[in-house]
């Protein structure tokens, strides 16, 4: 029996078609978010893994709908998807394999239902995104899109009853992670006519969008990138408290995710203005060290529970 089959068994997913549905989502996540899948497979309890895979697949599918194609096409695709998900949540049935896994995972984790509803209500903030005038606009985007999308997965990892502390920790993490992404993906985003650094921040460093598009390595550009990356790093360091807030063994995965983001931030800082020509990834050796250390902690926690 494969490790995946054992995970499905541990999660109580026995019906043949439903196992096939979850398997399809595993293939999707392993293909497009391989690092996320490998980390989850290594670090999560078997009973949780299929549900995290399903939630990640929903997040990825939504990202694609919101980001792919001309705007009218994206609007129509999102409206159709949103209607299908809401209808399925109301009726409890769906012909779509992805939505069927979402329904089953929502039944296993009832707190996910409100998270999905919030995500569907606010995700359209991504449809009109081309940039921000102010830091406040960026923070509004994080609240409207980045955090609800992240909570699709994070809500499965956190405590069953959250007094708001865990969500606040997730907000701190995703602020740092999103800011890091916007800097690390500058070359790609600028080519698509998007800029994740607020205009008021550019002006503070006397930098123009053209400076970034043309990959100019002026002192202002260097200082701008360093400032944004240090701000991201500060949020990620504060989010180091997030794993403890899960109050369960799932915190090991979140701890590894935070550490990998910090490695990425460090690599981006070292890359400097070269980010304007392409993004960086965390160093392989450092990433492996993080994952192996996290795996040892996960095994210790599992033995402590059993």
Q: What is the CATH number of the domain that holds 107?
A: 1.10.600.10
48 shares its domain with 145? no
What does the alpha-carbon distance between residue 168 and residue 217 come to, in Å, rounded to a whole number?
Answer: 36
For residues 107 and 207, membership in a common domain is answered with no
As a whole number, mean pLDDT of residues 131-149 equals 96
- Residue 304, pLDDT score: 62
* 139 and 256 belong to one structural domain: yes
Which of 300, 285, 244, 304 has its CA nearest to residue 43?
A: 300
* Residue 143 sits in the same domain as residue 285: yes
Distance set, CA 63 to CA 123, 133, 136, 188, 287 (Å): 9, 23, 23, 16, 25
Q: Is the pLDDT of residue 106 over 60?
A: yes
Among residues 128, 152, 167, the one where a domain terminates is 128
Q: What mean pLDDT do residues 118-143 have? A: 94
Each residue's pLDDT tens digit, 18-31: 999 999 999 999 99
Note down the domain range covering 103.
1-128
Same domain, 186 and 58: no
Q: Same domain, yes or no, for 28 and 93?
A: yes
d(CA 257, CA 291) in angstroms, rounded, equals: 9
- Of 128, 146, 163, which residue constitutes the final position of a domain? 128
Q: Are residues 51 and 197 in the same domain?
A: no
Q: Does residue 115 sit in the same domain as residue 212?
A: no
Query: Tell me, what's the pLDDT at 302?
Result: 63
Residues 184 and 294 in one domain: yes
Indicate if the pLDDT at residue 305 is higher than 80.
no
Mean pLDDT of 161-184: 97
pLDDT at 78: 96
**What's the rounded mean pLDDT across residues 118-126?**
94
pLDDT tops 60 at residue 306? no
Handedness of CA 186, 188, 189, 191 (dihedral sign): positive
Rounded to the nearest integer, the mean pLDDT of the chain is 94
Asked if 143 and 97 sit in the same domain, the reply is no
Portion of the chain with pLDDT greater than 70, in percent: 98
pLDDT at 247: 86
207-221 mean pLDDT: 96
pLDDT, mean of residues 107-117: 97
The tally of domains found in the chain comes to: 2
Beta bridge partners of 195: 131
Pair 147, 242 in one domain: yes
164/241 same-domain check: yes
Residue where a domain terminates, one of 63, 94, 128? 128
């Amino acid at each position: 029996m494969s490790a995946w089959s054992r995970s499905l068994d541990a999660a109580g997913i026995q019906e043949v078609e439903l196992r096939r549905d979850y398997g399809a989502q595993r293939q999707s996540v392993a293909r497009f978010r391989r690092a996320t899948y490998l980390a989850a497979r290594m670090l999560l309890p078997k009973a949780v893994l299929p549900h995290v895979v399903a939630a990640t697949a929903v997040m990825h599918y939504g990202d694609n709908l919101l980001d792919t194609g001309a705007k009218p096409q994206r609007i129509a695709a999102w409206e159709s998807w949103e209607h299908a998900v809401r209808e399925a949540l109301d009726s409890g049935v769906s012909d779509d394999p992805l939505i069927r896994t979402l329904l089953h995972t929502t039944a296993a984790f009832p707190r996910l239902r409100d998270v999905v509803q919030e995500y569907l209500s606010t995700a359209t903030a991504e449809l009109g995104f081309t940039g921000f005038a102010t830091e406040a606009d960026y923070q509004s985007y994080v609240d409207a899109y980045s955090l609800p999308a992240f909570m699709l997965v994070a809500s499965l990892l956190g405590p069953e009853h959250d007094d708001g502390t865990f969500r606040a920790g997730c907000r701190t993490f995703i602020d740092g992670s999103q800011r890091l992404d916007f800097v690390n993906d500058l070359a790609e985003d600028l080519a698509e006519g998007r800029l994740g650094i607020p205009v008021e921040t550019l002006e503070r460093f006397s930098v123009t969008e053209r400076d970034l598009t043309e990959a100019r390595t002026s002192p202002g550009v260097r200082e701008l990138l360093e400032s944004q990356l240090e701000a991201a790093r500060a949020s990620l360091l504060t989010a180091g408290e997030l794993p403890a807030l899960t109050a369960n063994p799932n915190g090991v995965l979140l701890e590894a995710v935070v550490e990998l983001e910090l490695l990425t931030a460090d690599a981006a800082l070292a890359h400097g203005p070269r980010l304007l020509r392409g993004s960086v990834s965390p160093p392989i050796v450092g990433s492996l060290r993080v994952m192996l250390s996290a795996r040892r902690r996960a095994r210790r926690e599992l033995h402590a529970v059993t």
